[in-house]
Structure 1
Amino acid sequence: MSRPSARTQIFSRLYKNAGMIAPYTPEAPAWTPPALTPAKRVARFVELMEAVRSEVYRVKGDAWVDALRKLMRTRELATLAYGKGTWCGDLLEKSWKEKPHPTDLIPWTRDVEEFRDELFGINAGITTTMGGIAEAAALILWPTPEEPRLLSLVPPVHIALVKAKEIVTSFPEAIKKLDWANKAPTNSLLISGPSKTADIELILQFGVHGPTDLIVFVIE
Structure 2
Amino acid sequence: MITNRESFLATISQRLGRNAIPAEKLERKWQYSPQYEVLKDTTQDELVEILMEQCKNIHTDIAVISSEHFSETLRATIEKYGSGSIMQWADERLQTLHVSETIEQLDNTTLHTWNPAIHQDNITIVEQANIGITYSDLTLAESGTVVLLSAAHKGRTVSFLPTNSIIVIPKSTIVPRLTQAAQFLREQDHTPSCINFITGPSNSADIEMNLVVGVHGPVRVTYIVIEDI
Normalised to the residue count of structure 1, the TM-score between the two structures is 0.78
Task: Report the equivalent of 2:173.
Answer: 166
Q: 1:58 aligns with which of 51, 55, 64?
A: 64
Residue of 15, 29, 34 corresponding to 2:39: 34
- Other-structure match for 1:79: 85
1:162-208 Cα offsets, whole Å, 9 max, x none, are 11111001111222244347644331111111122222223321111
1:209 aligns with 2:216: yes
1:150 aligns with 2:143: no
Q: Give 3-state SS (helix, strand or coil) of 1:69's partner.
A: helix
Question: Which stretches in structure 2 are left out of the alignment for 5+ residues?
Answer: 1-30
Distance in 1, Cα, partners of 2:119 & 2:51: 32
Partner of 1:188: 195
Q: CA deviation at 1:114?
A: 1.5
Q: Any idea what SS the aligned residue of 2:165 has?
A: strand
Contact 2:150-2:193 within 8 A present in 1 as well:
no
Residues 134 and 74 (structure 1 numbering): CA distance in 2 closer, same or farther, change over 3 Å?
closer
**CA RMSD of superposed structures (Å):** 2.2
Residue 68 of structure 1: aligned partner: 74
**Aligned partners of 1:61, 1:192: CA distance in 2, in Å?**
24
CA distance in 1, matches of 2:72, 2:158: 21
CA contact (8 A) 1:86 1:146 kept: no
**Equivalence for 2:106:** 101
Q: Residue 117 of structure 1 aligns to a residue in which SS?
A: helix
Count of aligned pairs between the two proteins = 191
1:122 corresponds to: 129
Aligned residue type for 1:169? P
Query: Distance between the aligned counterparts of 2:101 and 2:214, measured in 1?
Result: 32
Instruction: Say whether the 8 Å CA contact 1:163–1:218 is kept in structure 2.
Output: yes
User: Quick one: structure 1 residues 78 and 41, their matched pair in 2 at CA, closer, same or farther if it must change by over 3 Å?
Assistant: same
Where has structure 1 moved over 3 Å in runs of 4 or more? 94-97, 177-186
Shift of 1:92: 1.6
In terms of Rg, which structure is larger? Answer: 1
Instruction: Give the letter for the 1:77 counterpart.
Output: S
The one-letter amino acid of 1:198's match is: A
Distance 2:73 2:188 in 1: 37
Distance 2:33 2:136 in 1: 32
Evaluate the alpha carbon distance shift between residue 101 and residue 30 of structure 1 in structure 2; reply closer, same or farther with a 3 A threshold.
closer
2: CA distance, partners of 1:182 / 1:33: 27
Contact 2:139/2:145 (8 A) holds in 1: yes
In structure 1, runs of 5+ residues without a counterpart are 1-27
Partner SS, residue 115 of structure 1: helix
Cα 1:200–1:29, aligned 2, differ >3 Å: closer, same or farther? farther
- TM-score of the aligned structures, taking structure 2 as reference length: 0.75
Identity fraction in percent: 21
Report the Cα offset of residue 95 of structure 1.
Answer: 3.2
